[in-house]
Structure 1
Amino acid sequence: MTGPAVPAVPVADLPPDAALLDVREIDEWNAGHAPGARHLPMSELTARIAELPDHDPLYVVCRSGGRSARVVAYLAGQGYPVVNVEGGMQSWAAQGRELVADGGSGPEII
């Protein structure tokens, strides 16, 4: 038995002003993330839920789309207007979109 469908959008269809919430862990974030994205690791979500950006909708991204889909399902159940980014940062990078790295080397998606 599967749960309700999670609202989702492919990277190619993201609005230019999309508010991104990156739920990957810190090492993944430091390796490369979307410019302007907010970082809130999935493992810290429930403890830091008050820090969610106030955007309608909020686009949630991870490495490939699995973790973000779980976060979207949870937040949608809490009444938040959220959309999963299909394919995650792997799809983002594959489409040649800009990446910013906080680490010492160039950006890469891990």
Structure 2
Amino acid sequence: MSELPEVAVTEVPADAVLLDVREDDEWAAGHAAGATHVPLPQLAERLAEVPEGDPVYVVCRSGGRSAKATEFLNANGWDAVNVAGGMSQWAAAGKPIESASGTPEII
């Protein structure tokens, strides 16, 4: 098996196609601006909702779920890259975050 493609938050391009695989409450609390949301447990049945990207950058809270999603997507024909450190590092790096409440937080 090949090594999982992974990049640091600071290496994600500003115009990257992002897929957030966290749960609904985590997404609502705060997510990367412009990301698409498909929770990891629903990914297999919602593949049609995965955004077109070359590559698709996959993010969760800290990098574990997104690693599983990246592995799954790559096995199914996508060019996916795991975002190391997830939304925790995204927020720490000052990258844009939005939320349903208008006051984003990473949970």
Cα RMSD of the aligned pairs, angstroms, is: 1.1
Q: Percent identity?
A: 53
| 2:91 alignment partner in structure 1 | 93
More strand by share: 2
Aligned partner of 1:69 in structure 2 is: 67
Q: Does 1:106 align with 2:103?
A: yes
> TM-score of the superposition, structure 2-length normalised?
0.95
After TM superposition, the runs of 4+ consecutive aligned structure 1 residues lying more than 4 A away are none
Which secondary structure does the structure 1 equivalent of 2:97 belong to? coil
SS at 2:103's partner residue? coil
Q: Is the 8 A contact 2:17 2:52 kept in 1?
A: no
Flag structure 1 segments of 5+ consecutive residues without an equivalent: none
How far residue 17 of structure 1 moved from its aligned partner, in angstroms, is 0.8
Q: Are 2:25 and 1:27 equivalent residues in the alignment?
A: yes
Gaps of 5+ in 2: none
What secondary structure is seen at the aligned counterpart in 2 of 1:85? strand
Q: AA paired with 2:105?
A: E
* Alignment partners' CA distance in 2, 1:105 and 1:49: 29
Amino acid at match of 1:87: G
Residue number in structure 2 paired with 1:43: 41
SS in 2 for 1:53: coil
Q: What is the alpha-carbon distance in structure 2 between the residues aligned to residue 106 and residue 20 of structure 1?
A: 21
- Following TM superposition, by how much is the alpha carbon of 1:43 offset from its aligned partner in structure 2, in angstroms? 1.1
Deviations 1:21-80 (A, max 9, x none): 000000000000011000010011011111111111100000000000001011111121
Pairs aligned (count)? 107
Question: Which of the two has higher C-alpha Rg?
Answer: 1
How many angstroms apart in 2 are the aligned matches of 1:93 and 1:55?
Answer: 23
**TM-score normalised by the chain length of structure 1:** 0.92
